[in-house]
Structure 1
């Protein structure tokens, strides 16, 4: 792996974008539906260790952004913003969302929960692809 071509600022911004997308996705867009599908109430979420959850989530999302940057920077040419979006979308949809769909089938969770959780990553990785190729 060649880390010399990594734009570290872009990786950090891409990782932070996960919090922006997640805040919207699991907040005003799908928050109530996600809580209902998970069987959570507002009180259930208040008891969570948010420092641990957000801190670990940021580390994991940073690693995701870094690996996507390494993937996008592999080879002799730099991908365009459109290619970055397309690669992010394809990884998000064909690898992550569909894998989560298989898990949802076997764990017998709802189609709605699969959509909410799986397509968060489609949107997120598409945005990360744009950020990483735009900077």
Structure 2
């Protein structure tokens, strides 16, 4: 099976683990708060149920799309309009099978997605918002690490 919904949900949850570590005051949390103007008082005023709930939903959306990027077999299945009985797809799977379905390969494609797609998007927004490069690298770095882990989980967990 190409798509594993359990792996996608775990991948979505992994963004919380990365965030817990990444934004810890002993890692980048204090620097991020300084760069954004966030204070402990302001943070406590946020609706945490809403913030964490929407964060999970948005992470699920990302993790449900990510297989199209990190699993080669998904692309081939798209070419045949999702018809797994198509002779061309069946021939491809006979030759290639589960090749490149590993945690390492998924991590590579997740890393590439983070560096080549998400980091530039974060940087563009940061430039127009006149944010510092420190902010851009902290925020973009979080997504690079998160997508690397998400890609590993989604591609490697069959």
Normalised to the residue count of structure 2, the TM-score between the two structures is: 0.78
Partner of 2:108: 86
Range that drifts further, 65-74 or 88-97: 65-74
Partner of 1:44: 42
Deviations 1:84-121 (A, max 9, x none): 11110111111000121122122210000001111111
Normalised to the residue count of structure 1, the TM-score between the two structures is: 0.90
Task: Determine the C-alpha separation between the residues in 2 that align with 1:81 and 1:26.
Answer: 25
How far did 1:5 drift?
3.1
Query: Aligned runs of 1:88-127 on 2, under 5 Å?
Result: 88-127=110-149
Bigger radius of gyration: 2
Partner of 1:64: 62
Structure 1, gaps ≥5 residues long: none
Structure with the largest fraction of helix: 1
Query: Does structure 1 conserve the Cα–Cα contact (< 8 Å) formed by 2:70 and 2:110?
Result: no
Task: Determine the C-alpha separation between the residues in 2 that align with 1:9 and 1:58.
Answer: 14
Alignment coverage as a number of residue pairs: 132
Q: Matched residue of 1:54: which SS? A: helix
Q: Matched residue of 2:66: which SS? A: helix
Structure 2, gaps ≥5 residues long: 77-92
2:31 equivalent to 1:33:
yes
Provide the aligned C-alpha RMSD in A: 1.5
